[in-house]
Amino acid sequence: MDFDWRGIIRRSGPRFVSNGPSALNGRGELITVGRLQDSATVMVGLDVETGLELWRTTVTQGTTPVLKDGIELGASMISANPSRPEVFMYRAAQNGVNGIVGYNYDSRRVTRFIGPVGNRFRAMTSTPATLAHPDGCLVMGLDADTDPGPNVNVRAFLHLVCGTTYAERDSIPISLPSRTILQMETTGDGRSLIVMTDIEFLKLDAATLQVTLRSSRPMNAPFFLSRTTGRVIVPDAGSSVVASSGLIYIMDAQLELAAVIDLRVLPFGERPLGILGAEESRDGRWLYVVGGVPRDGPLYGPERTHVLVVDKATGLVVDRVHLGTFGASRAVMVP
């Protein structure tokens, strides 16, 4: 959609019955996963600027995983390598061992298998190539019970995998009081990682994985990292039983609270029941909030997907664009 005249200019990609994860790669493509009407789950690469579908790979046919180079594909979580045509896909399996598969979508071949990965795996993101690691690296967030017994022994870790095997990895413990990693994103310039734990936000140097900033979480909610401004947007997205309150916190690049947007002032029926995504304009003046509830979502839905245009200076909603569909994965700002 065009934010200048507030209208839809293009629809592209397959019509998914339900949306899955998505990721941006380093060459202007949006990689997205979804289920089609024939129950096939596919992963598609879309050119962000033109909307053209560049490639498509079937992940599962119904409940049966597709076999690729001896590995059963799975894509409950994905991350795109910013330095090469590779996407990491979680919930893959090789000879009964669960893990993460690296898949080259240009050659349609498997590049690496990282496993075994247990059920305490929480999040992952990719970092750009360096002289030491020309193929880029995968950063995994997980936790472990260091001593059987009460949950007070749970500790969070980062695993850095730059080779082709899981055995060749570096393990970095996350210091207390954080015990569980919930979400992790790489900044648009590839220099930093934003990690959200059960207690706080952490900003880490992508090359060394050293913590450079810490900040308390303003609320218990997922975050959206603006690729245009680097700010962290934390909205009350809504839960499985309670709709969104419309409260949105915006944290700057130093992880300090920069603004609070309160959509609770909107009349009932105009406030979004759920928040699916958020992004800022490049000049930081506008906040674009993607609202709606998928058809297979919470019982207080469904709600058609729409975009609220918020003036950050006043906190007022100046426009609303209806997209005529249900569900969404993420907002991507195109220059």
β partners of residue 6 = none
d(CA 296, CA 17): 9
Residue type, 198: D
pLDDT tens-digit profile of 66-121?
A: 999 999 999 899 999 999 999 999 999 999 999 999 999 999 999 999 989 988 89
SS3 265: helix
Share above pLDDT 70 across residues of the chain, in percent, rounded to a whole number: 94
**Is residue 335 scored above 60 in pLDDT?**
no
Rounded to an integer, the average pLDDT of 193-197 is 96
d(CA 49, CA 46): 9
> Would you state the structure tokens that stand for residue 127, as one six-digit string?
């970092």
β partners of residue 278 = 289
Asked whether 280 and 224 are in contact (CB, 8 A), the reply is no
d(CA 99, CA 156): 19
Q: Is the full-model pTM beyond 0.85? A: yes
Length of the chain, in residues: 335
Give the Å distances, CA to CA, from 148 to 151, 153, 334: 8, 8, 49
Asked whether 126 and 100 are in contact (CB, 8 A), the reply is no
d(CA 68, CA 79): 18
Cα maximum dimension of the chain: 59
Quick one: which of 63, 67, 61 has its CA closest to 109? 67
What pLDDT, on a 0 to 100 scale, did the predictor assign at position 144?
82
Backbone phi, psi, residue 200, to 5°: -150, 170
Rounded to an integer, the average pLDDT of 44-73 is 91
SS3 228: coil
Q: Is beta strand 247-251 parallel, antiparallel or unpaired with respect to 121-127?
A: unpaired
Q: Which residues contact 256 (CB under 8 A, 6 or more apart)?
A: 215
pLDDT bracket for residue 7 (50, 70, 90): low
Asked whether 61 and 74 are in contact (CB, 8 A), the reply is no
**Is residue 42 scored above 90 in pLDDT?**
yes
pLDDT tens-digit profile of 141-150?
A: 998 877 666 6
